[in-house]
Structure formats: structure tokens, C-alpha cells
Amino acid sequence: MIEVTNLHKGFNGEEILKGITTTFDRGMTNLIIGTSGSGKTVFLKCLLGLFTPETGAICYDGATYSELNEQQQRDLRERMGMVFQGSALFDSMTVEENVMFPLMMFTKQKKEEMLERVHEVLKRVNLENAEKKLPSEISGGMQKRVAIARAIVTRPKYLFCDEPNSGLDPRTAIVIDNLIKEITEEYDITTVINTHDMNSVMEIGEKIVFLKNGFLEWEGDKTQIFKTDNKAVTDFVYSSNLFKKVRDAQIKGL
């Protein structure tokens, strides 16, 4: 579980996050949503420890990040997995080497043991025949799956995803969303996903945090988001013509 208390973060005098307080539960897919510029990425980078908040606290299963020493912070980061928006796979390494990388860096396992684990996670993300390919030789959806495999190979306690289905076709996006949800339940980890894709909200939004201009505007789950009368949330949800038509049809009783 991750608890965030009164988080403030700014750059060059401009405050981006303005006192965010929320909780992300274990074994659940927690979504951070909001329009572009609402502070989602800054919030996610604070959770990852890439940005240091000005005030406030982030607590990972009882351990407050700012109170940990450098070594403890590194140990904590080793228990985090991250799926970047652009996958961030290492270009010069094959799929197998990319997934094996965290094991090589942080474990003392023999190569055979590492390969066994790599093939296990690649099988889990349905990528058994791409081990020897370079990231440039596989599709965007496959790259995302490699990124997920790399993120979970060390059995992390926390999984962070920055717009995991951006640039993917709707069908592949759903596959990736469901894969993340299944992995969250299977590994019993705390997953935080940064997205502005309403399809993801509908598919896997067990807890949703809505940001607007750096404030936490609303939080709830995927059923509540369609019932709320919060204007900022409804504007965001029904900015999609599809959702707008579905709502209009519901109102008309169709």
C-alpha cells in the first residue's frame, strides 16, 4: 500500500502538485487520470522517487520515503517496477537481455537461473518467440509486453505504469490493460497507472484518482465515475463522443 499525504511539488516557482492526499491499495489497479498538464506525470515521478516533493510524505507499506537513508531508498527502488510510456527498452539489448537486466544488476543468480525466470515471465506476457529479437524488430504492443516483463521479473512490490497503452490500437490496448490487472492480482502488488484513456478506466479502474490543475479533484472507482456530478470529471469522461452518445442513449432510455 502507498499512502500519500499533503504532497506539494513545483518547478521554478510554479506549483504543479498542490497538496495531494490519497492511498493506493495493494492487489488493486489504481489509476491516476486527468487532462494533459494536470500533474499526473509529476505525481507518478514523485511516487517513483525521481522527483523530491517540497512538502508532504509518501509512505510505502509503512516506510516514509523521505525518512529513508540513501541505501534504504535504493533498496526500495529495487522493489519497484516501471513501465514507461515509450517502453524505454535498451536498444542495444535483445528482448531476453532487456528482461534479464534487473536480475543481472541486483541478484547473484547463475545465468541458467536468470534465463529460467526470464522465460517464465516472457511466457506470462505471451512473448515466447521473441527472445532473441531487438526492440526495434518488434511491434509497439510487444515492446509494452517486454517492458511489463522487465518490470515484474524481480517480483516487485510496486508496479508503476505511465500511459501503458498510448500509441496502441484499441484491441492491443485492452490486452495490455488486462495483462497489468492480471499481474497485479497474481503477484499481489500495488499498481499505479497514469492514463487519460477512458477505455482503461472502464476495463481496470478499481481505484481512480482524478487530478485537475495539481489538485486531487475526485477519487472513486469505475462505476462511481459515471455517476458523479463533479463537473470536471464529467467534462473529462464525456469529452469522448462515444461516452457522450452512450450517456444520451441512457437518458433517452434506448
Partner 1 sequence: MFYLDDIGRYFLMLKGVFSRMTKGSVLRNLIFKEIDDLIIGSLGITVFLAFFIGAVVAIQTALNLTNPLIPKKLIAFASRQSVILEFAPTFLSVIMAGKVGSFITSSIGTMRVTEQIDALEVMGINSLNYLVFPKVIAMFMYPFVIAIAMFVGIFGAYAAGVYGGFVSSADFLTGLREEFIPYHLTYAFMKTFLFAFLLATIPSFHGYYMKGGALEVGKASTSAFVWTTVVIIISNYVLTQLLLS
Chain residues that interact with partner 1, rule: CB under 8 A: 48-50, 73-75, 77-78, 80, 82, 84-86, 88-91, 101-102, 104-106, 160
Torsion angles phi and psi, residue 226, rounded to 5: -85, -5
> In the block, which residue shows the cell 510496486?
158
- Nearest distance from C-beta of residue 84 to partner 1, angstroms: 5
Burial of 15 (0-12, 13-18, 19+ CB in 10 A): middle
Please, what is the end-to-end C-alpha distance for the chain in angstroms?
Answer: 42
Fill in the amino acid letter for 172.
T
Which of the 8 DSSP states describes residue 252? T
Judge contact between 211 and 47, C-beta under 8 A. no
Of 83 and 237, CB closest to partner 1: 83
- Nearest distance from C-beta of residue 134 to partner 1, angstroms: 14
- Nearest distance from C-beta of residue 73 to partner 1, angstroms: 8
Of 32 and 208, CB closest to partner 1: 32
In angstroms, the CA 13 to CA 101 distance is: 38
- Nearest distance from C-beta of residue 140 to partner 1, angstroms: 13
- Nearest distance from C-beta of residue 209 to partner 1, angstroms: 20
Of 23 and 109, CB closest to partner 1: 109
Of 105 and 254, CB closest to partner 1: 105
Strands (E), 84-202: 158-162, 190-194
Of 135 and 205, CB closest to partner 1: 135
